[in-house]
Structure 1
Amino acid sequence: MTGHENLWMRPERPARGPRPSFSRAALADAAIRVADAEGLEAISMRRLAADLGAGTMSLYRYVTSKDEVLDLMVDTAVREYLPEDQQPPGDWVEGLRLLAWQARRTMLRHPWLAPLAAARPQVGPNSARLTETALGMLDGLGLSIDEMLTFVGAVFAYVNGYTQGELVEAEATRRSGMTLQQRLAQHISYIQSLIATGEFPMLDRMTKEAGRHFMSSDERFAYGLDRLLDGLAASLRARGAADGPAGSR
């Protein structure tokens, strides 16, 4: 199989010419700082060059296009899923739980990450390391590669969906200056009119219990993640019961 030569296949330092004044890592870090503070739309080669104290054309010694800058950003941020000082535990459930929490923290730090990563292949070295680590946790459970990818994909789909909801809510609060509860309170008369029809008993219960303790965002994330992992573990146990010992942990 042959394919396009990506940026990681090209040497960072050309064999000829002046010594590079910075690195691809510095370029990625500069782009991430801009995106974190101002959004992806603020990124341009001119802006990054100014932040790095370099000429715009000099950036093309490191990348061929803005798209390659975006690839660098994704792969650099993905590294945060796997802290260097924390090795994943041996148990696959705890390992996937750790990855999920790390992914959520990373996505909240970098609101642009999940949408950008979903729109482009993740083939950089850190992305490859993440895939190797996640699939390695499931090795020996009797699963095919396709099944292992589905397990990991289910966990990351949950993290992505939950975190995007958090980010949308945070942005709505920022724009309106009101919390979700305050925004809902503006519609209380309409909500009460719906309840009065008798057709929405769960809505009635929800409003009556609203003053009690509702799970925090962290607690709700943990609860949903635990139920997902419980389901995956149960599927392995059921598989073992049907097929005999499969080496599941």
Structure 2
Amino acid sequence: MGGEEPSIWMQPERSKRPSPGPQRAYSRQQVVRAAIKIADEEGLQAASMRRIAAEIGAGTMTLYQYVRNREDLMELIVDEVTGEMGLPERPSGEWRADAAAVAVAKRDLYLRHTWLATRVPGHPVWGPHSLHVQEFLLSSFDAFEMSVDELVSLTGLLNGYVESFVRAEVGWQEEARRTGVDMQEWMRRTAPYARHLVLSGRYPAFSRVLMENTSPHMEPDARFHYGLDRVLDSIEASLKPGT
């Protein structure tokens, strides 16, 4: 294990590795904030080390004094924006309200920084802001008797719902940005094919959804909270008071 590189959270703010040429002091925070700005405006893929260096007026190699590689940079920027969730220091003791607060704050965060919904999650981020969210949610269930596996599964159910919902929201936004066709226009263009499917009689359940769907449709906020309440109902059914 001696050859393993330390986590970014155990590395100093600035590497001692010198860069050739005149030196100017930057900070890891500058690098992180520049990366977030680019990702917000142009998408996550645009936030390359070269592009970030240009944003802050540094040479590309200078950035490696502050961030070892792109993987570390991703951890840093995800944790930085997670701090925007603004959760209280500790849970209120009302597990349902606390879990709902996490879900709502997480969705709001993803809608502000849509690149969060487009990145492949990979390993968990263990930065201070991310750990606070984890600690808050996990300790919301302290009053109940459950194993670690049960606790992780139930909180994973909540997080999975939020991430799945918001990825669908962001997906429509990204498609509209890329193609100029939003959800309403797509539905208008596909209406002839939808009628063809209904008349074919081959998909009765799907046809019922098409024919009986109310208009206007339930707004995203209402759909999110409707689904969130069902997820919390499911979690509640699994809870057993502690001794």
TM-score normalised by length of structure 2: 0.85
Q: Distance in 2 between matches of 1:15 and 1:41?
A: 28
Quickly say closer, same or farther: Cα 1:125–1:89, change in 2 above 3 A. same
- TM alignment of 1:65-84, pairs within 5 A: 65-81=69-85, 83=86
Q: What residue number does 2:50 align with?
A: 46
Q: What residue number does 2:242 align with?
A: 247
Q: Distance in 1 between matches of 2:162 and 2:17?
A: 45
Q: What residue number does 2:61 align with?
A: 57
- TM alignment of 1:70-219, pairs within 5 A: 70-81=74-85, 83=86, 88-116=91-119, 118-210=121-213, 212-219=215-222
On the 8 A contact 1:76/1:126 being kept in 2, the answer is: yes
Q: Distance in 2 between matches of 1:22 and 1:54?
A: 8
Quickly say closer, same or farther: Cα 1:172–1:14, change in 2 above 3 A. closer
Aligned length: 239
Q: What residue number does 1:243 align with?
A: none
- Stretch moving more, 62-71 or 188-197: 188-197
Structure 2's unaligned 5+ residue stretches are none
Deviations 1:153-212 (A, max 9, x none): 111111111111111111222334333232222232332233234454444444444453
Identity %: 37
**Residue type matched to 1:155 in 2?**
L
Q: What residue number does 2:7 align with?
A: 6
Q: Distance in 2 between matches of 1:185 and 1:63?
A: 48
On the 8 A contact 2:154/2:235 being kept in 1, the answer is: yes
- Stretch moving more, 47-56 or 214-223: 47-56
On the 8 A contact 1:88/1:98 being kept in 2, the answer is: no
Q: Distance in 2 between matches of 1:51 and 1:121?
A: 28
Q: Distance in 1 between matches of 2:24 and 2:136?
A: 33
**Residue type matched to 2:67 in 1?**
V
Q: Distance in 1 between matches of 2:154 and 2:35?
A: 32
Q: What residue number does 2:40 align with?
A: 36
Deviations 1:65-108 (A, max 9, x none): 22221121111122223x16786432111111111111111111
Q: Distance in 1 between matches of 2:170 and 2:124?
A: 23
> 1:187 aligns to what SS in structure 2?
helix
Cα shift at 1:8: 1.7
The CA RMSD measured in Å over matched residues stands at 2.8
Q: What residue number does 1:222 align with?
A: 225
Deviations 1:49-70 (A, max 9, x none): 2211222222122111222211
> 1:186 aligns to what SS in structure 2?
helix
> 2:140 aligns to what SS in structure 1?
helix
Cα shift at 1:43: 1.8
On the 8 A contact 1:74/1:117 being kept in 2, the answer is: no
